[in-house]
A and B are shown apart, each in its own frame.
Chain A
């Protein structure tokens, strides 16, 4: 007893601390780095036998893992397509998962070199495409594009897609890294019923737009509302408006981050027109604080007539949309019918739901084959019917009774013909488009806290900063 003085408390702590210090470097050497090793990739399954039914040479027995973004379009459409896949390859296991946290769940797997075979890299938490491409993490989908299409072996998949879809999936070289499955029409969304109540039609010129808004204001209805909490919804109708006024080159210069691209008179004219909506009190009070859902609900309730949005709104707002709402989309009104560079009808349409096949996927052929199935008419129509959005498959709507918003999207596309614009800021420079241009400039202008001139100056500064920032990868229109 009492033989413990050599274990004096002070000594013990000192020594423990010393051991702790020594163990620090040892541990960091022992434990795996967060960035992972790169030796795990390349363990791909063997290719199967190429045949007419199996043009991509999918291994019939290899498991397939699919991760779907569980957002506005849900996941059922993918499950249905997987069922088709299983029919073709009864021995293959298909592992399906759906999440809204694409990036949080998949980023570690990319780092570890074990990503799934097909990913719908979409939603607010999508992984940055430019980085994935830049770091060579994706499989080139050219094989899929050149494969015979699912319904007609005489036509390549490439030739069955809507215009612009393949180009959107390309970055610098010839490789196509992304396949956008949904096809979104952006514009000014409205209710035919609510316009009718004011004895109005969708205004084809901005003067008429102001008149309709004035008439609405007299009845206590606002002209416009927007997702003030995410003001980057406003460009959905504002950017094609700019293109309509000044030609598509203005948008291209903006996308290319050219000096003074935003100082174009067309930008100023468009900004001033939108600012006038605020100045004349045509914007629903409180809009700057609304989420996209809030604004859609207010619009459904008839509190406001017009809403800049994309064609997913019909599905997303299903629950709050009255039966007789008769949803429709309008292209930007003409600011000046004579001097506008592009005709009325010009609108923004582009691919949505970007699907990717990772480079280190174990079964990349399987991933592409599932995409091929999805781009078949059957799966495509299933998607159109169940989530009321178009797919990248050109046509595919024959024989379907489309819901009003979707029918209107199709009409708008037909009317636009070649005059479809596709600004790329939102997929090339997310930070610039969303938090800088969107929240810090356009949002502030629509809330009346910046004048159009101030907003443009601010945006030009942001764009110049991005152009100079080496940590951001740059893209250009070809």
Chain B
């Protein structure tokens, strides 16, 4: 039966590997190669410039600013989004008042809430960003109109126009548009946790906080970790919101510049595709570091139930 074993295996692997090679590996390799050239992106003619692009990167203030913003997004976004997602999911599934015949139940109307939370997820991010751009309009936007209506006429922030607020405005939009997804994800996870655990805990006199931290969170850990990685990727990207919504875009005064958007302007506005791929390599490194950290921190014994 040994005969033709390798050919057999290879036969199955050739096609997927070829597709993977052409569409995934080869662009990566090419990008790394182009990061050592002065390719403009507008003509096939370029030369290899060695580490020139990387030297420039090192001295580029805008690059460091955007790395800083990406790191801030990376720290804040997953924490807030997943925290909120867990809270809402817990309230929807376990957090309600105890009813007859059921040890645990969600708050009243939890079915409707689930749909409402998921709503932003259905909208395209472009629409979300545009809607919020209107809401943030300092003149006639919903936020400032609300502030005027409640008599806070003197406090009329410029939102996206204010360098100190702009990045937070961007974060708020990303949290708003993503939290629903996690509510649904965590709800699904929570519903697979056996009810007896909660019953036992309640018999022992545990309150909601304790059940959350002692039962729900540990049993949900895998899902949370996945969500964390996914949200981290969203934070590293955040291109669409920055591009559509912010001043400049990328401003005011680079206050919302992020790596992905900076890469885009260099490649497609300034005709510096070579330097843009250098930025891309930098983004790849940041992503790898992030993934490494999450995997290290997140490793925990898996609970079977």
A: residues with CB less than 8 A from B are 3, 6-7, 12, 15-16, 19-20, 23-24, 26-28, 30-31, 33-38, 103-104, 107, 110-111, 113, 125, 127-128, 130-132, 134-137, 228-231, 284-291, 294, 298, 303, 430-431, 434-435, 438-440, 443-444, 447, 449, 471-472
**Minimum distance in angstroms from B31 CB to a CB of chain A:** 8
Chain B positions within 8 Å of A231 at CB level? 247
CB distance from A220 to the nearest CB of B (A): 13
Interchain CB contact under 8 A, A34 and B268: no
- Residues from chain A with Cβ under 8 Å of B137 in the complex: 286, 289-290, 294
Q: Are B252 and A431 in contact (CB under 8 A)?
A: no
Return A257 CB to nearest CB of chain B, in Å.
16
Asked if B248 lies at the interface with its beta carbon under 8 angstroms from chain A, I say yes
Q: Are A443 and B247 in contact (CB under 8 A)?
A: yes
What B residues does A16 contact at CB under 8 A? 9, 13
Chain B contact residue count (CB 8 A cutoff): 55
The stretch that binds A, out of B19-27, B72-80, B292-300, is B19-27
Flag whether B156 is at the interface (Cβ < 8 A): yes
Enumerate B39-63 residues with CB–CB distance to A below 8 Å: 39-46, 56
A-B pairs with the 8 shortest C-beta distances?
A286-B138, A27-B21, A131-B271, A289-B161, A288-B161, A135-B43, A128-B271, A286-B139
In the complex, chain B residues whose CB is within 8 Å of the CB of A20: 17, 20-21
Measured between alpha carbons, how far is A15 from B1 in the docked complex, in Å? 19
Q: Which chain A residues border B203 with CB–CB below 8 Å?
A: none
- Does B167 sit within 8 A of A, measured CB to CB? no
Q: With the chains together, A229 CA to B42 CA distance in Å? A: 28
Interface hits, B3-47 → A, CB 8 Å: 5, 9-10, 13, 17-18, 20-22, 25-27, 29-30, 34, 38-46
Which residues in A have their C-beta under 8 angstroms from that of B113?
A: none
13 other A-B residue contacts (CB within 8 Å) besides A439-B251, A443-B247: A28-B29, A104-B268, A110-B43, A128-B269, A134-B40, A228-B161, A286-B139, A287-B139, A289-B138, A298-B139, A438-B248, A471-B38, A471-B275
Are A28 and B13 interface neighbours, CB within 8 A? no
Q: Tell me whether A34 and B40 are in contact (CB under 8 A).
A: no
State whether A113 and B44 are in contact (beta carbons under 8 Å apart), knowing that A6-B5, A440-B253 are contacts in the complex. Answer: yes
Looking at chain A's contact residues, the main secondary structure is helix
Is the Cβ of B42 less than 8 Å from the Cβ of A110? yes
Establish whether residues B253 and A439, one from each chain, have CB atoms under 8 Å apart when the complex forms: yes
Q: Give bound CA distance, A34 to B161, whole Å.
A: 38
Please, how many angstroms separate the alpha-carbon atoms of A19 and B9 in the complex?
10
Q: Which parts of B126-140 form the interface with A (CB within 8 Å)? A: 133, 136-140
Residue B158 interfacial (CB < 8 Å): yes
Query: Which residues on A sit within 8 Å (CB–CB) of B268?
Result: 103-104, 107, 125
Which chain A positions have C-beta within 8 A of B139? 284-287, 289-290, 294, 298, 303
Is B216 in contact with chain A by the CB < 8 A criterion? no
User: What are the residues of chain B within 8 A of A104 when measuring CB–CB?
Assistant: 268
Bound Cα distance from A443 to B252, whole angstroms: 8
- B144 at interface, CB cutoff 8 A: yes
Contact status A23-B271, CB under 8 Å: no
Residue in contact with B34 in the complex, picked from A12, A35, A136, A435, CB distance below 8 Å: A35
**What is the distance, in angstroms, from A426's C-beta to the closest C-beta of chain B?**
12
Q: Within the complex, what minimum Cβ distance (angstroms) separates B286 from chain A?
A: 22
Q: Which residue of A37, A127, A128, A288 contacts B44 across the interface (Cβ within 8 Å)? A: A37
> B265 in the interface, Cβ–Cβ < 8 Å?
yes
**Residues on A with beta carbons closer than 8 Å to the beta carbon of B269:** 103, 125, 128, 430-431
Q: Is the CB of B30 within 8 A of A290?
A: no
Name A137's contact: one of B26, B42, B254 (CB within 8 Å): B42
With CB as the reference atom, state the residue of chain A lying closest to B139.
A286
A398 to chain B, nearest CB (A): 40
The answer on a CB contact under 8 Å between A431 and B265 is yes
Whether a CB of chain A sits under 8 angstroms from the CB of B163 is yes
Question: Shortest distance in angstroms between B62's beta carbon and chain A's nearest beta carbon?
Answer: 9
Q: Are B250 and A439 in contact (CB under 8 A)?
A: yes
Q: Would A38 and B42 count as touching, CB distance under 8 A?
A: no
Q: Is B70 on the interface with A (CB-CB < 8 A)?
A: no
**Which A residues are in CB contact (< 8 Å) with B253?**
439-440, 443-444, 449
